[in-house]
A and B are shown apart, each in its own frame.
Chain A
């Protein structure tokens, strides 16, 4: 703790010194704080994710003396309630009402779509720290829209090869029937079928239904070689438990990391052996990750997770852009800001990554497995994977 605070004091001092060197014409801009609008879920199902992202981002900024490009930062927090109906309104409120320089958000894909739409309309700078909806770095991609997390396709696609390599021929896929579910299953199915695998059945449940028993019975009757599932949050917790209780453990269960991340403790022994792919793993054995996790724990009092990483990297991306333009957020510096952010190489706890032309991370996808109640990393399932960015005109 003391070590960290001393370090941040040193950094703050450095930032202060740097501020003294910038030309005077920025003097007015500097006195005004950079306004960063955090539009995230602070209530409801995704509240914990919103908090983690917020902490991660603030930690990244604090590590730079609480400044971006030499300017103090003011955060404007807005609870998006994970309500897509209010997405565009809330985004407009931050952009037009609170006049934020950067808009950061959010978790829920539907809300993020609304934000992306408003960002396209207004040209506001948007960083998406979680929502994986493909369109944000696909048809809706724009110079001012960035994503530091993943596209839904991205973590799922490599699992297709993993399944094939493990000798599976017939797989059942199951998810909720909504955009993220369709895209994630689509990613896996693409990876699996292009190698010759067969999807026996795709089961799509109404979102957010959590009574799986009927469908587990159905899976048992289909007797596939493996099951690929996409669920998150409470649905993930319950699905894995029910899957084990229904005696299906003889059929390997696969998914993206969301199937176990954050709910592993609740799943207990039921999660044993579950294979997942994701762009991060808590157990990632790198110095960067270990350092990050320790600092995050000290900073927020909670264990870091993938959301904290994504929040942290959003903060890093902000800092890189702002440093490049020395804190100038005026329209004249916009092109330079975007160029610097697009070219950023981010030294993330997940491993360094760059951004694709559609502004989505080009990143390693790890293969993980639950063993003895712990998520362990088996290796990299796909190195430097880029989202195909279907429909994006600038990619």
Chain B
């Protein structure tokens, strides 16, 4: 195994884009080479070592062997773990937008919270967030028909609006609440929300959305039966009928 630590030298006011911080990019490089990779801060292209301190095992290693630990304030650092196929990225604290976007494999774990667009267009691997996630978790890019297609996301806290928009596959589990329009245009993925949400499953055509507590349900969903899951009662709905959708929406009954 190869483990390296990247520490942010300070809190960044102007956000940093660091798509190079991923196991795939770093595994084949030595510590020194890693330091000379590029990152962007606004219109300034900088060396990674200008903004971060890199320490740990020297390379190279395979992607699978690679663990990257991020310490310090990464809340304004975007695109961490973009497109990673394997290995581990461990964020000790919070992370900026677009972490794990286009992720194909490996593990991205975040001990704090994640900003918007976490795991955008994810295809595989696993993302775990101990805190909250922002808007557009596991969603697609603007105008795209597909968001997340595969993999697994777990958020211990809450998630923002448009959770899993255009979801085409994979599963998302939120222990807390989710913002408005969770699972909009779901085309085959699975979403579980431990808390409440608002207007879930708008225009969903396939897939399942389970909301344990409360949800305002759209007038275009057909109320069907009450089902029991793990000893809890859920009201089942079919929809979204505006598009003759065959999705399944389950909303907890009377649990509190």
A, B from the same assembly: no
